[in-house]
Amino acid sequence: MRKFIGAIVVLATLVSCKQDKEVEVQELVQVEPIERVPVTRFGFNVEEFKVVQDTVRWGDSFGELMLKNNVEYPKIATISEQYKDTFDVRKIRVGKPYTILKSKDTSEVAEIFIYENDKVNFTVVDLRDSVVAYKSKRKVKYVEREVGGIINNNLSETLDNLGVDFNITIDLSEIYAWTIDFFRLEKGDRFKIIYDERFINDTIYAGHGPIKAAIFEHKGRPIYAFPYVTDSLKNILDYFDQDANNLRSTFLRAPIKFGYRLSSRYNLKRKIAYYGYRVRPHKGTDYAAPVGTPIIATADGTVTESTRRGGNGRYVKIRHNGTYSTQYLHMKKQKVKRGEFVRQGDVIGWVGMTGNTGGPHVCYRFWKNGRQVDPLREKLPAAEPIVDSLRAQYMDYISPLKEQLDCIEYTEPVFEPEENLVTLNP
């Protein structure tokens, strides 16, 4: 390892007590040797290799990349056949970065292949001597962040203006999906959230952790949300409010997770010009979204129909219990078959334009006791609250989090002219 030895010349000006003269003195100061720190990446000293960095392109395969870099076929076969659980060579994705560490001699053989699964996790294929593959991850620093915002236009825009990851918008909307209608937010509604941001080398943003606590104030009504595991054996985590009530309802409010628009509500007195303004009741709730958007089951249940019929187009109908059933119309394609049991949030099909429809959307229909009703006006049954035996423990757990939330200040929004405001949706 190279070392550097230096000397510092110190210029000192001395004034004699007897003579009014200035004398320049040079003093040599010996400096301790400075050892050069090697450059490491992914746990390897990259100065020992020739480094190639690139991303997976269309048509690339692990085998071709290795052959181009002078790796013998038997080693490629070993990785492909014996390390499928660690590194499935068939699943490398276009756009993913990789690094190849090659020997510095004239052969330039690839000795190490590193595939970056994401910003944190990576897979190492060591091709030296006996071939081996293993997973590893970068060191990540977690920094807790507190955010308080006031709705001006919509939730996603407000969080974006605050510099918050878009995925936090999705997480927050899913936590409150059963208790707040995000299509009917009002200007002045506000929220506070606490979560962790992840950083690599203190500066490279690498995503975020789950929301640790939140409060959303809608129409003046504050609703807290705290994550809590109620079944340690099954590791079941739900979000509960300040009174230990489960924020999850038996039913989701919408059959699409995100990126949709409420285009037509349940309306028994609807009149359509095409039919001479006659009353043509609309017993469904339409959610407009691009073709191919996943449609999800709003509650657990059994598929009773999965077919195509008339104006309904392709559709799925689910019986949830003796009281409730739901139906999802105009699908491009169904994913489930009759008789299948589905869980809340499972994808059951994709948005399309089959049947009588003027644009891509899903018509969501809701039955209660055999009669179609408006799901947005129904008081849907809630999930079970925290059991009495865990209630005191839960209250102790949320107490400091609640106090922390209450101390967060709201960031005032920058208001836009009225004509620029759009529908208040997520």
Q: What are phi and psi of 352, to 5 degrees?
A: -145, -155
Identify the band that residue 13 occupies on the pLDDT scale cut at 50, 70 and 90.
Answer: very low
The domain limits of the chain are: 3-35, 40-137, 143-248+409-420, 261-373
pLDDT digits (tens, 9 = 90+) for 175-232: 887 778 777 788 899 999 999 999 988 888 989 999 999 999 988 889 999 999 887 6
Task: Name the token pair of 329.
Answer: 């119309």
Helix (H, G, I), strand (E, B) or coil at 276: coil
**CATH number for the domain running over 261-373:** 2.70.70.10
Amino acid 285 reads T
Which among 286, 261, 118, 98 is positioned nearest to 200, based on CA atoms? 118
Q: How far apart are CA 194 and CA 146, in angstroms?
A: 5
pLDDT above 90 covers a percentage of the chain that reads 52
Q: What is the DSSP letter of 2?
A: -
- CATH code that applies to domain 40-137: 3.10.450.350
- Short-list 162, 218, 230, 150, CA closest to 195: 162
**198 Cβ contact partners less than 8 Å away, ≥ 6 residues apart:** 120, 140, 141, 142, 143, 205, 206, 207, 208, 209
What CATH number does the domain located at 143-248+409-420 have?
3.10.450.350
Residue 215 parent element (H or E) = strand 204-218
Confidence at 24, pLDDT banded by 50, 70, 90: low
Q: Are 213 and 224 in contact (CB under 8 A)?
A: yes
CB 162 within 8 A of CB 149: yes
CB atoms within 10 A of CB 274: 7
Per-residue confidence band for 344, with pLDDT thresholds at 50, 70 and 90 = confident
The model scores a pTM over 0.85:
no
Same-fold call for 40-137 versus 143-248+409-420: yes
Instruction: Name the 3-class secondary structure at 64.
Output: helix
Contact 81, 63 (CB under 8 A): no
The string of pLDDT tens digits covering residues 241-282 is 999 998 887 788 789 987 677 877 766 665 555 455 565 667
> What is d(CA 252, CA 383) in angstroms, rounded to the nearest whole number?
11
Q: Is the separation of the CB atoms in 8 and 31 below 8 Å?
A: yes
Helix (H/G/I), strand (E/B), else coil: 68? helix
